[in-house]
Amino acid sequence: MAKAAHILLVEDNRLDIELTLDAFREARLGNSVHVALNGAEALNYLFGREQYGDRDKYPLPDIILLDLKMPGIDGFEVLRRVKAEPEVKRIPVIILTSSREEGDLALSYDCGANSYLVKPVSFEGFLKVVQQVQDYWLILNMGPPLEQDS
């Protein structure tokens, strides 16, 4: 783990973005975080479209933190497109949502989600979740090779 991991946060709620980013700061993680405010922007970033053409400036993330309920292209749609695209399909996608709905849970895994986390209401709880994501997904877990082997 020479370089710090890069994170793509897909979240439409500005307050949640701020809290998440604060939590990352509080956890003193040296990760870089790119925030996409909706599904369309997330897909543009991941596929290097429009202003995100420069991969040096906008590198592919090591993990994606994905909210489900978003206007327009929602989290499920983003998930389906990511998992259908060879270049990005191996990037772990962690669903970060307020929903405890069984249906949402099932559909997320069906669409290829790697993990499903429910946002706690309290900031302390939230902090704990972010810390655990950091520990597990970015340090403990061995990520997939991002380029095709061929």
Q: Can residue 136 be called a binding residue for other proteins (CB under 8 A)?
A: no
Site for other proteins (CB under 8 A): how many residues? 17
- 3-class DSSP state for residue 75? helix
In this structure, the chain runs to a length of 150
Nearer to other proteins (CB atom), residue 11 or residue 41 = 11
Give the type of residue at 84.
A
Taking CB under 8 A as the binding criterion, the range among 35-43, 72-80, 114-122, 136-144 that sits at the site for other proteins is 114-122
Sign of CA dihedral 28, 29, 33, 35: negative
Residue 43 in tokens: 């897909």
Torsion of CA 116, 70, 35, 130, to 10 degrees: -30
CB of 112 to other proteins, least distance (A): 23
Among 32, 99, 115, 131, binds other proteins (CB under 8 A): 99
Residue 118 in tokens: 């429910």
Q: Can residue 135 be called a binding residue for other proteins (CB under 8 A)?
A: no
Q: Can residue 121 be called a binding residue for other proteins (CB under 8 A)?
A: yes
Residues in the site for other proteins, rule: CB under 8 A?
Answer: 13, 15-16, 19, 22, 98-102, 119-124, 126
